[in-house]
Amino acid sequence: MKLLKDKIQNEGRVLSENVLKVDTFLNHQIDPPLMQAVGEEFARRFKDAGITKVITIESSGIAPAMMAGLVLGVPAIFARKQKSLTLIDHLYTASVFSFTKNESNDISVSKDFVTSEDTVLLIDDFLANGQAALGLIDIVEQAGAKLAGVGIVIEKGFQKGGAIIRDKGIRVESLAIISSLANGKVEFLGEDLSK
């Protein structure tokens, strides 16, 4: 997705060989028209998949997931990273290990909102080690829902998450795939792996 790749090149800041900061448009400040374009692109790629629910994880996945849901005409659900006072039981829960924080956290989705009747599109801002996506996939499986695929805004193609999920036979559509952050420079894969 050229608009997104241009934005990453122009505004992304490479902090290390593994860390790309994109908080001018995705992770802290949000660029609403870009999120609209991202949502439209996810909807275009999955328009024939019979999606009934979009699911993401708070917080940075919410903007692209909601825009995808808006275009697809379905609700968007964000998995909670901790149990809140008004969501105490009746949950599907999965554990997600964060390599950056070196800790595990539970994510949870109410059993009210994903069922065996649903066909689910998972959306997230980043795909790196794949732990967050695997947690969402676990929840979709617990619910007995059909998984149509995973839509990722930015995939770090040099980390293992994309391969782990594709090796399960799951469709992964990443709008930008980064092949390297070496030497302070963002390099993209010429062709998306997903095509």
**Residues making up the binding site for xanthine:** 20, 27, 156
**171-180, long-range: CB within 8 Å, 24+ apart, which pairs?**
172/127, 173/42, 173/45, 173/46, 173/149, 174/127, 175/1, 175/4, 175/38, 175/41, 175/42, 175/151, 176/1, 176/4, 176/5, 176/8, 178/8, 178/20, 178/154, 180/17
Choose which of 17, 23, 117, 141 interacts with a second copy (CB under 8 A): 23
Choose which of 24, 119, 159, 179 interacts with a second copy (CB under 8 A): 24
Choose which of 5, 80, 166, 171 interacts with a second copy (CB under 8 A): 80
Stretch that binds a second copy, among 107-115, 117-125, 146-154, 186-194 (CB under 8 A): 107-115
Residue 113 near a second copy by CB under 8 A: yes
Choose which of 4, 35, 139, 143 interacts with a second copy (CB under 8 A): 35
Distance CA 138, CA 182 (A): 33
Choose which of 85, 89, 169, 185 interacts with a second copy (CB under 8 A): 85
Which residues have a Cβ under 8 Å from the Cβ of 174 and sit 6 or more positions away? Answer: 127, 151, 152, 153, 154, 155, 157, 162, 192, 193, 194
Residue 28 near a second copy by CB under 8 A: yes
| Closer by beta carbon to a second copy, 139 or else 172 | 139
Torsion of CA 180, 181, 184, 188, to 10 degrees: 60
| Closer by beta carbon to a second copy, 64 or else 149 | 64
- The DSSP secondary structure of 59-93, one letter per residue, reads TTTHHHHHHHHHHHTS-EEEEBSS--TT--SSEEE
CB of 195: closest distance to a second copy in angstroms?
A: 27
Residue 128 near a second copy by CB under 8 A: no
Residue 182 near a second copy by CB under 8 A: no
- Residues in contact with a second copy by CB under 8 A are 15, 19, 21, 23-25, 27-33, 35-36, 58-59, 62-63, 65-67, 69-70, 75-78, 80, 85-87, 100-101, 109-110, 112-113
